[in-house]
Amino acid sequence: QVQLVESGGGLVQPGGSLRLSCAASGSIFSMYAMGWYRQAPGKQRELVAHITSGGSTNYADSVKGRFTISRENAKNTLYLQMNSLKPEDTAVYYCNARRGPFESWGQGTQVTVSS
């Protein structure tokens, strides 16, 4: 199983940028499909972006053109570059790793977009 630790969240003004990181340990990171999810207060957790072990990506419609998911297998790290942030992007962001029947979640990092 892989262990995940997110970082990079914080408070940012509308229109600003943040880069989230997810450090993985304990297994072969490159073999996992990875994703970023978010959960706002009172809402269900939703998929933000996903990247396969081969590097193919997909995004929620709400973040297309603003967010970019990437992975650096040599550093066992997943990233989420978030640009043009909006107040509705405010949520706790979670890193997810999946390989076959195995799935791991990080503890989450808070992103708040507010003036």
Side chain identity, residue 71: R
Residue 96: Cβ within 10 Å count? 20
Q: C-alpha dihedral over 97, 14, 9, 38, to 10 degrees?
A: -30
pLDDT at 115: 95
pLDDT at 27: 76
Tokens encoding 52: 């396969």
Q: What is the pLDDT of residues 33-67, one digit of tens each?
A: 999 999 999 999 999 999 999 999 999 999 999 99
* pLDDT level of residue 71 (50, 70, 90 thresholds): very high
* pLDDT level of residue 8 (50, 70, 90 thresholds): very high
**Average pLDDT taken over every residue of the chain:** 96
